[in-house]
Amino acid sequence: MITTPLTDDLVRGALELEPTPRGLVAHRLPARARAQNTDPRLAMADTQPAGVRLRFRTTAGVIELETLATKVEYPGAPPRPDGVYDLVVDGKLAAQATAPGGVRFPGLPGHLKDIEIWLPHNEITTLVALRTDAPVVPAPPPGRVWLHHGSSISQGSNALSPSTTWTALAATSAGVELINLGFSGNALLDPFTARALRDTPADVVSVKLGINIVNTDLMRLRAFGPAVHGFLDTIREGHPSVPLLVVSPLYCPIHERTPGPGDFDHAAFAAGVVRFRATGEPGPDKLTLEVIRDELTRIVAQRQDPALHYLDGLSLYGPADHAEFPLPDELHPDAAAHRRIASRFTELAFGGPFA
């Protein structure tokens, strides 16, 4: 077996690769942003490699990827399943695997082929070694770069595997290279995230905003508008004319008219079921999903930026979709809903302002 060093041209979708004594950590935020962060949940999400994949070309019949997984469990909750690795051969999902120390894919066809190994989107993963029984070379990227920022739904919560999150499915369908800056619980208009978006080369950029602002009860309407303007201003410093899409929240009944903070449904949690609820009380200047959609519509229109566009999250997943595919934990879409959201986004974004 041949061991190939893991370098930036083989690991796609990460902003930085950090050498550690155990291996490489693929970060989705740069060191400058990580130094300014104080939220341990964001620090965890940064090292969960959503959208990060190894991409190379080879005739190898056997591929081994040695990794180190760090498990996260919540006291009293059911154990979280092992992270899934998706093997994509010439654009098609060919195999899936989970393993404590990495994965092995044998019996691959011997012709020259493009390989992608999508890393678990919800498990901290350290890359240790890539081994194959034939040499590998970097594969060319699939065209334009799509840079996206959002919440846990963009990171992939409740998707079955890393290549079947809605962002990964939309990128594959549109034939673009994904850089996914979706962070569970942390689409919070942080200035350091805006600077990371600003400084990352991209052909199209989207930001999905709102749900985390509500379920953390982070701010009031007076602060929200200026914060969105500042976030977009910073992105525009690095991307002055690229198509920039603002996406409002998907339909989520617990927060449509009820402010945060959100919390676990503790009665369900005690029975081993993870479910969320809204605990806030409506009041002047408080943010709900309905309020945020109205405000984002107003902000995008006010800016009079011909390359700035608005996409209503209800057109991706609305009340009718919820009736067909309910949110299993009251907050995150299931696997079928991820597919629907991806299909709608491909049509409305890549068939529209990103065309």
> What's at 207, amino acid-wise?
V
Q: Which domains does the chain have, with CATH numbers?
A: 2-138 (2.60.120.260), 145-350 (3.40.50.1110)
CA distance 203 to 115: 24
Report the pLDDT averaged over residues 73-96.
Answer: 88
pLDDT at 4 over 90: yes
Per-residue pLDDT tens for 323-351?
999 999 999 999 999 999 999 999 999 99
Q: Which pLDDT band holds residue 100 (cuts at 50, 70, 90)?
A: confident
Share of the chain above pLDDT 90, in %: 91
pLDDT at 266: 82
Report the pLDDT averaged over residues 33-53.
Answer: 97
Flag the least confident range among 140-149, 166-175, 233-242: 140-149
pLDDT at 177: 96
CA distance 41 to 67: 22
Burial degree of 225 (CB within 10 A; 0-12, 13-18, 19+):
middle
Q: Which pLDDT band holds residue 148 (cuts at 50, 70, 90)?
A: very high
With both helix axes pointing from N to C terminus, report the angle between 289-303 and 221-238 in degrees, rounded to the nearest 10. 50
Q: Are strands 145-150 and 16-20 parallel, antiparallel or unpaired?
A: unpaired
Q: Report the predicted TM-score, pTM, of the whole model to 2 decimal places.
A: 0.96
CA distance 299 to 219: 17
Report the pLDDT averaged over residues 48-70.
Answer: 97
CA distance 58 to 7: 16
In 3-state terms the chain splits into helix, strand, coil percentages (rounded to 5) of: 30, 25, 45
pLDDT at 73: 79
* Residue 247 · residue 313 · CB < 8 Å: yes
- What average pLDDT is seen over the chain? 96
Per-residue pLDDT tens for 262-278?
998 888 877 778 899 99
pLDDT at 227 over 80: yes
